[in-house]
Amino acid sequence: MKKVLALILAAMMTLGAITLAVAEEEQVVSVFYGGGTPQFMDPALNSASAGSNIIRMGFSGLYRYGVENGEKKLLPDLAEGYTLSEDGLVYTFTLKEGLKWSDGTDLVASQIASSWNRAGSADLGADYGFLFSYIAQNEDGTLNVVADDAARTLVVTLAAPTAYFIDLVAFVPFYPVKVELADNEGIWATKPETAIGAGPFRMTKYAVDDVIAYEKNEYYWDAANVKLTGINCLLSEDNVAMLTAYENDSAVYINSSIDPVEYDRINATYPGELQFDVLLGTYYILFNVHKDVSPAGKQLTVQEQSKARFALGQMINREDLVNYVTMGGQVPANGFYPPTLSDAYNTALRGAEGYGTWYTGTATPSAVNENYTEDMAAALQTLIDLGYAYTGSIEGGDIKFTDFPSIEFSFNNSGANAAIIQYVQETWNSVGITGVVNTEAWATLQEKLKKGDAEAARMGWVADFNDCVNFLEIFISASGNNYPRLGRDIGEYTRNSEVTKDAGLGAYWGPNGDQTWADAYDKLVDEIKVETDPATRAAKCAEAEKILMATGAVAPLYYYTLPNLLKPYIKGVSSFSGGDVIWTYAYIEK
């Protein structure tokens, strides 16, 4: 898990209009998730956290994250429950009786099966389509999902035992849609007349860069316990406009898009309203592996370029970054897995035996020269060893590289992103490496990344479920979220005076650069999916992270927290470590 108004006056006029339209006795709220207009509102096509939170207003799945007796857990939603076969392969879900879509028509098991087949189809080509490969296929390529509408059952046969399958069916891509209304571009989900779901609310308005408005869905199975009569999801990438809206009571909630420089003032003015939720996620820099970073006059091998990219990430002083730039309780990253990540057998990963640490993550001065941290000094030495030209020296604290190619860096200007990227840019510039910064709207940046047009970008991943596989699957060759292009793109690339084949720079791995990414990484991830021995599985999770980190294609900066502001009179909002913020049972109490 991934969306980023320019005219503040116009935004505030819109927000004021929304507020004035709400009668005092109504239970209607306006909220900001940040990131602007989601790229997709189709549950199958969306792949961003902010989009998921909005989509949950109008759609539901078999299971959901919720709170029961004070405990956050997975709970039945459209399903009454399930049974599991002894071999762990066959899930039989029984649906609640009398389920209806938000247009009042019956929701039946076969519609869920059709929805899943659409979401996982090659024809749709959704980023998360690969998740449906956990389900076994029939000979005709359809999913092995047998629906009995009369019995209200859905029998799902998996390709292999998957301990976290219920986590998957609680995930947005598995939310059923009316397939007969859906198109492959997701336009249907932006029109109130066709955005028909089974969630607690139903869409009444969709206006780009303005608002997505919902009213209570009286056909929701638990409508009797839904107290809000409406919710307006306000769309903006303007941090100032969002905070102003909160301060003038035009919005009751904002998250992520709060400038850290405002934290002290907010705490003094609104004590107790600013919170930092700990998320199961990693904020990182990604590098497109098809960007050649060889020095002038020398062609580096694939492995050498991996080391050069790794050095770019290693230079960054993560401790200073979280203490003086982000200032939201984040933890400096020393690997891709966040510290609270476990696997399907509750084995803690970060810090476990066999798991590497790739950065010190501290601001400890190097013994070579106090101008540089230990991480920076090590990174500089790597670039020297690779043959980059430079002036000055590490010992003198004045080294400048003169032939490292400039890096075009793209980011969406939301929350602390601009300050983070400036910090990274200044770090590189301090040693002669030029970072050219491009600010993009979030939807534009996503499209650029999907096409492979971004050389480097800021990115974050917040877990869809608590297992290492969810962090590893991002980078398999077929993943739509594989923005570094590992194992992707057909093309030629000269390496060691030889022309490589298949997927250019991104394809090759192994000590001699002679193993494809699919063989080195994809197969290992597939093995992890079906491994049932906890110790063996944990070891393979460790190995996969090592392979990923050694590419230098990702440079984790910190482990996420989610800054958010919530009015004290809003009750019943639930937040979860995957970034899910649930408004189903929220209400106003003044």
Winning range, highest mean pLDDT, from 150-154, 492-496, 525-529, 561-565: 150-154
The confidence band for 5, taking pLDDT boundaries of 50, 70 and 90, is: very low
CA distance 206 to 37: 10
**Secondary structure letter of residue 96 according to DSSP:** P
- Tens-digit pLDDT profile for residues 165-181: 999 999 999 999 999 99
CA distance 464 to 222: 24
The confidence band for 514, taking pLDDT boundaries of 50, 70 and 90, is: low
- Tens-digit pLDDT profile for residues 376-417: 999 999 999 999 999 999 999 999 999 999 999 998 887 788
pLDDT of residue 278: 86
The confidence band for 510, taking pLDDT boundaries of 50, 70 and 90, is: low
CB count in 10 Å sphere of residue 164: 18
Backbone angles phi, psi at 391, to 5 degrees: -115, 165
Q: Which helix (H) or strand (E) holds 199?
A: none
Q: What is the mean pLDDT of residues 499-513?
A: 47
- Tens-digit pLDDT profile for residues 255-309: 877 888 899 999 999 999 999 988 899 999 999 998 899 998 899 988 899 999 9
What is the 3 state secondary structure string of 246-290?
HHCCCCCEEECCCCHHHHHHHHHHCCCCEEEEEEEEEEEEEECCC
Which burial class, exposed, middle or buried, applies to 83 when counting CB atoms under 10 A from its CB (0-12, 13-18, 19+)? exposed
Whether the predicted pLDDT of 371 surpasses 90: no
Which residues is 43 bridged to in the sheet? none
pLDDT of residue 356: 59
pLDDT of residue 257: 72
Whether the predicted pLDDT of 344 surpasses 90: no
The confidence band for 17, taking pLDDT boundaries of 50, 70 and 90, is: very low
pLDDT of residue 413: 80
pLDDT of residue 203: 99
- Token pair 């549950």 is found at 43
Q: What is the mean pLDDT of the chain?
A: 87
Whether the predicted pLDDT of 503 surpasses 80: no
Q: Residues 277-561: name the CATH superfamily.
A: Dipeptide-binding Protein; Domain 3 (3.10.105.10)
Which residues is 515 bridged to in the sheet? 509
- Cβ atoms 330, 561 nearer than 8 A: yes
pLDDT of residue 127: 86
The boundaries of every CATH 3.10.105.10 domain in the chain are 277-561
pLDDT of residue 350: 55
The confidence band for 513, taking pLDDT boundaries of 50, 70 and 90, is: low
Out of 281-285, 462-466, 564-568, 579-583, which region has the weakest mean confidence (pLDDT)? 462-466
The confidence band for 6, taking pLDDT boundaries of 50, 70 and 90, is: very low
The two tokens of residue 96 are: 């609640």
CA distance 504 to 488: 8
CB count in 10 Å sphere of residue 278: 17
Q: What is the mean pLDDT of residues 135-148?
A: 97
E runs forming strands in 142-210: 145-148, 153-157, 201-207
pLDDT of residue 185: 94
**Secondary structure letter of residue 326 according to DSSP:** I
The boundaries of every CATH 3.40.190.10 domain in the chain are 8-273+567-588
CB count in 10 Å sphere of residue 523: 13
The two tokens of residue 421 are: 């990227």
pLDDT of residue 386: 97
Rounded to 10 deg, the angle between the 8-20 and 239-247 helix axes is: 30
Q: Half-sphere exposure of 250 toward its Cβ, with a 13 Å CA cutoff?
A: 19
Q: Residues 8-273+567-588: name the CATH superfamily.
A: Periplasmic binding protein-like II (3.40.190.10)
The two tokens of residue 328 are: 């939201």
